[in-house]
Chain A
Amino acid sequence: RAMELPPSHFPAGRAAAVALGYLRYLRGGPGRGLQLRQLRRARRQDIEDAGHKYSLELELEDVLDKDRTVTCTAEVLYPLGSKSSAPEVQVTVQGELRSTQEADQDFYNRIRSLEKELVAENIPDSHGNVPPHLEPIHLLAWAASGYVIWQNSTENTEFHLAQVKHVKQVKRSDEDLQFDYVVLLHEMVSQEVIPWEVTVLWHPRRGARVSRDRRQPGH
């Protein structure tokens, strides 16, 4: 039996944030930032010996293409027990997202042609500014932190990317771009801001992959 949840109540919102994190990781990148326009519907089902399953209907938008939205259905299963394992997420996107092929290729070429490896910090800065040339770096961090958020979420947490504290490009001999990020994740329930090291590989056709991540020691 599935229980209908008010979309304005936090349990539905937290599950939606997990689904968004997962989707951002899968479909986001330097040319696309997906966020929630509206949570249309949420239901919860307690599955014996498995966990709590949330079924969601979401309306999403690309921050770079706000005139258009896509509908998405998602299922988020938070596993039972104290053993910390990531929620299982399934997402289906109905409709087309704006193509990022050109933007991705431009970004790829630009970074590959840099003489010195890219280094930057505090994105956005204290005043919320992101220099235009660093916007793709910010969006890529947003996509990569989606992975961390998905992997570390429970029904009692809600994570958001607060800031890119530091980013350093690492040149590679293969075709991937590599960025070593230190991001700050804001956890809404405890209100903690947690530094997290995330290494991302990215390629225009292969997308983003987090190859290494860890909560910064001492935090």
Chain B
Amino acid sequence: SNMKLIFIFSALIGASLCLETFVGHQVLRIKTKNEEEVKQLQLLESLEHLGLDFWINPSAPALPVDVRIPAASVQSVKAFLESQGIAYSILIEDLQDVLDKEKQDMAESAQRQRSSSSFDFGTYHTLDDINEELDHLASEYSFVEKIQIGESYEQRPLYALKFSTGGRNRPAIWLDAGIHSREWVTQASALWIANKIASDYGTDDSITSLLDKMDLFLLPVANPDGFVYTHTSNRMWRKTRSKIPGSVCVGVDPNRNWDAGFGGPGASNSPCSESYHGPSANSEVEVKSVVDFIKSHGNFKAFLTLHSYSQLLMYPYGYKCTRPDDYAELESLGRAAASSIRSLYGTTFQVGTICNTIYQASGGSIDWAYDNGIKYSFAFELRDTGRYGFLLPASQIIPAAQETWLGLKRIMEHVRDKSY
């Protein structure tokens, strides 16, 4: 029978082709009855010129052998099997057909994804698109609700997502993004994070235990007027769009407008400046709305805010260069969070007080939160360190969001554990 083998296949020696498609390729399932038949198949396996591709190799009589056979070898392999009385069935008649159909299915599925409410988190979106996605998340998850906490200067609603699995006024965590409108990776990351939390509740132990004990409020676009302006007019716009009495210049730096060392060093009193603190603390409705919401809620335990760029993880103070009372705990927690961030892609975040790490800056949001009893107040500056700066490539949105989420989660877990 070995002679037979060699005779049948000798014609095919030297006919090894390097095929780019799988047209006419068949996949057979061979059922061997005994060791002798297994040996025959192993001999077949050794004939390289046949171009056989064993998906399951011949090893023992009880186990099926699956093999892909190039078109040119199909007839002769079948003839051999039949002559040896080895049973087989055809798993796949034409492999290329199967691959073509799969490709088509995938394209159709992608098409469906695009045309349905499935959101591409790896690209930058307009305000309208973002608001639509907030609606979608709220409608898809029973524990997610879209709330309006106020209105911007140009009367755009300030929409936040409330994540709550029950209770009445549970201890809560605040997370905002986009207070500086040109920092586009922050609004984009906030959306990814919202979706991550919503979809992982019930399956991820950490998120589940977090939301079973605490509520989360997420404001993905804290400065919608500025955000729209970055789309329509000036990609580098930072401030709000409020008119300043007596000035031709527009807008206040919303992160110099909080009532924490207001008007002190590190903020400008010039309306034309990018760090203009505004005529008075909370003069900006975008800031006042958040302040009023948090005060009337009364049970926030953490205040987290996203900025870009520089890769920093900071805690109070910015308005003064002295350490907060909880310095040791915040420094330690900050380092742990930075370590979590680094664990994913190696991205390093520097940790420290605002005043030490970036600059002295008065009227900032986390200083206000801390001085109002919210101990766990942190500000993140996301990717990168200056190569792209505010214009971070969209391809980095999801990696940035993923790593940032790990840092946020580390802090939230600590808050959860400390709140009980």
Contact = CB atoms under 8 A, between A and B. Distances in A.
Interface in B379-407: 385-396
Contacts of B184: 126
A127 interface: yes
A17 B235 CA distance: 24
B273 interface: yes
Contacts of A114: none
Contacts of A63: 387
Interface string B64-90: 000000000000000000000000000
Contacts of B238: 191
A162 B123 contact: no
B393 A128 contact: yes
B387 A128 contact: no
A128 B385 contact: no
Nearest to A142: B387
Contact of A160 (B273, B351, B352, B386): B386
A35 B311 CA distance: 14
Interface stretch (B2-10, B48-56, B167-175, B354-362): B354-362
A146 to B, nearest CB: 12
Given A10-B357, A190-B275, A162 B348 contact: no
A162 to B, nearest CB: 5
A125 interface: yes
B286 interface: no
Nearest to B309: A160
A47 B316 CA distance: 33
Interface residues of B, number: 34
A6 B355 CA distance: 13
Contact of A190 (B231, B274, B385): B274
A163 interface: yes
B348 A38 contact: yes
A191 B274 contact: yes
A84 interface: no
Contacts of A190: 268, 273-275
Given A9-B356, A10-B359, A193 B391 contact: no
A186 B268 CA distance: 17
Interface in A98-129: 124-129
A14 to B, nearest CB: 10
A143 interface: no
Contact of A35 (B123, B268, B385, B392): B385
Contact of B396 (A35, A128, A130, A186): A128
Interface string A5-25: 011111000000100000000
Interface residues of A, number: 31
A142 B275 CA distance: 26
Contacts of A17: 386
Interface string A182-209: 0010101111110000000000000000
A127 B339 CA distance: 29
B165 interface: no
B236 interface: yes
Contacts, number: 80
A139 to B, nearest CB: 10
Nearest to A122: B235
Nearest to A160: B386
B57 interface: no
Contact of A10 (B123, B358, B391, B394): B358
B357 A8 contact: yes
A29 interface: no
Contacts of B123: 127
A8 B350 CA distance: 6
B37 interface: no
A35 B393 contact: no
Contacts of B215: none
B253 interface: yes
Nearest to B388: A128
A33 B386 CA distance: 12
B143 interface: no
A177 interface: no
A134 interface: no
A36 interface: yes
Nearest to A8: B350
A129 B184 CA distance: 14
B391 A124 contact: yes
B235 A126 contact: yes
Interface string B188-212: 0000000000000000000000000
B392 A128 contact: yes
Contacts of B395: 128
Contact of A9 (B230, B268, B352, B386): B352
Contacts of B396: 128
Contacts of B357: 8-10
A38 B359 CA distance: 20
B124 interface: yes
A111 to B, nearest CB: 23
Contact of A189 (B230, B310, B351, B359): B359
B121 to A, nearest CB: 14
B393 A184 contact: no
A189 B275 CA distance: 9
Given A9-B356, A190-B273, 16 more contacts: A8-B352, A8-B356, A10-B357, A126-B124, A126-B230, A128-B391, A160-B386, A160-B389, A162-B236, A162-B391, A184-B236, A188-B358, A188-B359, A191-B238, A191-B275, A192-B274
10 contacts: A6-B352, A35-B385, A38-B348, A126-B124, A128-B391, A163-B236, A190-B268, A191-B253, A193-B236, A193-B274
